[in-house]
Chains A and B, each alone.
Chain A
């Protein structure tokens, strides 16, 4: 099993890594001093298990697990037993280790994780079919980093996105967000079935168009410019509606 360790305290990470070394087939592939770094890592890397501290400044372990879309197994590590009840509300939480973690208790937690891991990886035809269905399911939301918080944005609620220097401005039905990202980056996240780049600085949700003029579209009360080169694509899309 490949795992990562998330804890703001270096001593705690070193202890978990030390305990992991004693277990065959358990590889620590990385460690993080905060949840945000781990969140970014998990965007492009798969792991089987996370050792996660609950009590971290800013983005806590409990906040973190709520952001996981396809969560791996998680073992909580903490000095506070009081969070145990909330932690076990999630079926991917394997165990809850109170610090200081002993080797004996650690091994028991790993045994639990291994059992679940191998059971879930037995590939039955039904599981395969279900997995394929899940994989085909379109993405309906994503998270953006605003003031060290991860805010969930529902894709269908987005009216348009505008480039604004090093930031992008995202207007939704109910909110407005300024996110440190490029238009190109967010364009890759937005489904082409719903969104279209109509100008070098604008991506719009075509379902939100109220009115169209020669060089602009109206979305709610906002007039969005449409560049000449992007206009044919927009017209094609309207034919499809």
Chain B
């Protein structure tokens, strides 16, 4: 299974450590909020709202270099646009969120 990495952020910062710190700080602050908002929206069964939250998290997924996870999230978002909430996709997406959460605890 692919693992999250900060490679993209390091490339962006071009060796500027304070910039890497700043970027990871934003990531650490924003991701838990977005994850929480996703779970809250899931309770409401508002597909549009769930889709919006998945969309925002998608960017974090790709920033962390998780290409396969990105494809899963993308498909999940498109299904939601078609008013289709697939429980398997919910489970897969939850695993992705878990994997990112675990990784962020290590940085």
Contact = CB atoms under 8 A, between A and B. Distances in A.
Interface of A: 8-12, 14-15, 18-19, 55, 57, 79, 99-100, 102-103
Contacts of A10: 26, 29-30
Contacts of A9: 30, 56, 59
A15 B23 contact: yes
A11 B11 contact: no
Contacts of A99: 59, 62-63
Q: Which 10 A-B pairs have the closest CB atoms?
A: A57-B52, A11-B26, A14-B26, A100-B63, A100-B62, A79-B58, A100-B8, A99-B59, A55-B55, A10-B30
Contacts of B99: none
Contacts of A15: 12, 23
A79 B23 contact: no
Given A18-B12, A18-B23, A99-B63, 4 more contacts: A10-B30, A15-B12, A79-B62, A79-B74
A74 to B, nearest CB: 19
B13 interface: yes
A55 B53 CA distance: 11
Contacts of B14: 103
A191 to B, nearest CB: 40
Nearest to A102: B11
Interface residues of B, number: 21
Contacts of A14: 22-23, 26
B40 to A, nearest CB: 14
Contacts, number: 44
Nearest to B52: A57
B89 interface: no
Contact of A103 (B12, B26, B59, B62): B12
A79 B30 CA distance: 18
A18 B13 contact: yes
Contacts of B90: none
20 contacts: A10-B26, A10-B30, A11-B26, A11-B27, A11-B59, A11-B60, A11-B63, A14-B26, A15-B12, A18-B19, A55-B55, A57-B52, A79-B55, A79-B62, A79-B74, A99-B63, A102-B11, A103-B11, A103-B12, A103-B14
A86 B86 CA distance: 29
A14 B55 CA distance: 18
A9 B29 CA distance: 12
B86 to A, nearest CB: 20
A12 B58 CA distance: 12
